[in-house]
Homo-oligomer: A and B are copies of this chain.
Amino acid sequence: MDTPRTVSDEDFLRLDHQICFSLHAAARAFNSVYRTALKDLGLTYPQYLVMLVLWEHGELPVKRIGEHLRLDSGTLSPLLKRLEAAGYVERRRSAEDERSVTARPTPAGTALRERALGVPRRIAAATGLPLEEVRALRARLDELTTALDTAGSAALPGDCVPDD
């Protein structure tokens, strides 16, 4: 097969350690900063993401929330129950389609939005990066996610190097 350049598997194993780990570590570091920023609101970071979606769309079926966040019911069902127990979200079976359950913010959930307005600014400050760079990084990460998703759904050709 074509070895584009002679990068040994040994080198790859070391490099790999750095790439994947960097992403892993960055995600956890972000999570940690959000944890402290959201503690006052009584939200975890994934719960905050769900609230962002609901604040924007008002009322959504679980399925739609999952599409926005790329999460399935196995993750969302218990999460939404906790948000309901906290009084921030209402759930009910849809009348038109009894299979579907819709979630929407309660008045308390809507009020929470006001207190959440300051959070993004604090996070942005914590990154120490100008907005432009953050935006560029986001674009790069989205490309990466798309590539990984398609590669994953394409059953991982394995030794097919991406020039085809």
Contact = CB atoms under 8 A, between A and B. Distances in A.
Q: For the complex formed by this chain, how many copies does it contain in all?
A: 2
Interface secondary structure of A, over-half rule: helix
A9 to B, nearest CB: 4
B147 A127 contact: yes
A147 B37 CA distance: 16
A143 to B, nearest CB: 8
Nearest to A121: B12
Contact of A127 (B10, B34, B144, B160): B144
A158 interface: yes
Contact of A126 (B55, B127, B142, B156): B156
Given A20-B49, A30-B148, A128-B162, 13 more contacts: A7-B131, A10-B117, A13-B116, A17-B53, A24-B45, A24-B49, A25-B145, A27-B27, A29-B152, A33-B148, A126-B147, A137-B140, A140-B140
12 contacts: A9-B121, A19-B137, A22-B145, A23-B30, A26-B142, A29-B144, A29-B149, A32-B152, A33-B148, A122-B159, A128-B151, A140-B140
